[in-house]
Amino acid sequence: MKQEFLRYRLASQRVTVGVLQWLAGIGLLAGMSQPWMGQAAAAGLALMMLVASIVRIQIKDTLLQTVPALFYLALNIYLCVAGF
């Protein structure tokens, strides 16, 4: 993972991104009992995946390399809009 963040030119943000992903994962689980928490966590993850997609485009990744970020962006938008 360290090498990937170097490739993304975001090495200094690696820990921050990891912590945010953990918190969002906990928020998604909490969304099973508190739907607003799940929706907020999904919105945060959608924003993170939007930024990830933009970064991948900027560093000229292939479409195949960019598809996972786009898939998770769409999934989290669905979770945010459709709710739990």
**Domain residue ranges in the chain:** 2-82
Task: Give the global pTM.
Answer: 0.89
pLDDT at 14 over 90: yes
What token pair was written down for 24?
Answer: 């969002």
DSSP 8-state assignment for residue 31: T
pLDDT 10s digits, 20-61: 999 999 999 999 999 999 999 999 999 999 999 999 999 999
Whether 79 contacts 42, CB under 8 Å: yes
